[in-house]
Structure 1
């Protein structure tokens, strides 16, 4: 895809692992310039070295929860990276899997701050340039948890329902500016997601993916690349994707 025959620049949050990492790799192979964002500078440095063989890469080290850091980082972009064509709001996580009355307030804060407020801060900083250019594509990474509430998902599901609502609201409000907005909502994807949710309990995390073939981060990256390479008059607004073994948030055909 090209807008006015210019080379594209993509801004990816949560770029050092999982879906963000695989999207960055695929974009690089397709000569899309990259602004890669994450909290681990060493991982960003390694990724920049790897992908700079294929395209131009700039890294930003900040936590999406930190509003001032978000705006300062984006304001610091050099001229070569100042025109952002594609925004992938990928940063997000789940903390804990507890009944509501047993939930940890710090976990709730982390999920709402990263999954909701972080997405808002980054979008708020980048959208003005897209409005000025009357072009741009925002893809918000949601979840089946934003479509169905499941047992002990409560606040994580609430955060992803918020992403679903924000995605719809963005699409409506930015329509007049010729900006494409869409979401990808995956089911079970084998990433470090469960390691974070279960706070380093590797055995419990591994059981999440036993007995069936889950989606891989590469699968979601391929879908994201498909979305951004459609002709500009085509906007994939809301996409739900499961592994074949999954039928809903709670129904998975496991062969154990």
Structure 2
């Protein structure tokens, strides 16, 4: 049986990198894409995969990336991010635009481009990394909430539209995970980012990667539609028990 190919976006760090490692360890041929080429090249060398530069906000980059993917059995839509925590009244429209472009349109661009190859595989699968922000709104999260709600809608509509075709569609929504996510959200402010996880044992990128690996390993007659993953100390987006 030929080795199956998994494509992972946003694979230069965090959940994307951890998922690439987990999938490779499970026997997948992994194609990893991200903007930071030095990181994905090192990761590809580590897992025996292929690194291809990818900016999901740039259609030409997406087209060039997907043209180099010969076959695709699994697409992990992981590229995304949050920028800022401003209120609606003080919203930075450019930040909202950036969040919509990377989370929503980025997911759309890559999924649309690889969908014919996923269908042609005869047993394709799309797994999208969403967020608890797609399930409940919270103060200061307006732009990210809006983007991730849209990603969830896109994923669920795709599931409806592909009914009867050989492609499964899954959504994994993590809560608090300690990665570079908060560092990016707070524009590189390490002190602010650290406070997000203060007094809490958050999930790790590897925890989410294990869920990705498990979902990807289900038999073709099983579709894991949605998973919500939270740290034990977290019961909702902003309900967190801290031991300080």
TM-score norm. by structure 2 comes to 0.97
Shift in Å, 1:141? 0.5
1:108 aligns with 2:104: no
Contact 2:130 2:148 in 1 (8 A): yes
In structure 2, the partner of 1:131 is: 119
Shift in Å, 1:140? 0.5
Answer with 68-77 or 29-38: which moved more: 68-77
TM-score norm. by structure 1 comes to 0.93
Shift in Å, 1:212? 1.2
Corresponding residue to 1:46 among 42, 46, 70: 42
Distance in 1 separating the partners of 2:93 and 2:140: 14
Shift in Å, 1:203? 0.3
Q: How many residues are paired up?
A: 244
Corresponding residue to 1:73 among 59, 65, 73: 65
Answer with 67-76 or 240-249: which moved more: 67-76
In structure 2, the partner of 1:34 is: 30
Distance in 2 separating the partners of 1:211 and 1:6: 47
In structure 1, the partner of 2:82 is: 94
Deviations 1:161-210 (A, max 9, x none): 01110111010101121210010000000000000000011001000001
Corresponding residue to 1:25 among 21, 30, 55: 21
Shift in Å, 1:50? 1.2
Deviations 1:91-129 (A, max 9, x none): 000000010111212211110000000000000000011
Shift in Å, 1:72? 2.0
Distance in 2 separating the partners of 1:7 and 1:62: 23
Distance in 1 separating the partners of 2:166 and 2:72: 15
Contact 2:73 2:121 in 1 (8 A): no
Shift in Å, 1:7? 1.6
Gaps (5+ residues) in structure 1? none
Shift in Å, 1:131? 2.1
1:147 aligns with 2:104: no
Distance in 1 separating the partners of 2:78 and 2:234: 22
Shift in Å, 1:134? 3.2
Contact 2:123 2:220 in 1 (8 A): no
Distance in 1 separating the partners of 2:4 and 2:242: 41
Gaps (5+ residues) in structure 2? none
Secondary structure of the equivalent of 1:177?
coil
Secondary structure of the equivalent of 1:180?
strand
Secondary structure of the equivalent of 2:162?
helix
Shift in Å, 1:24? 0.7
Secondary structure of the equivalent of 1:176?
coil
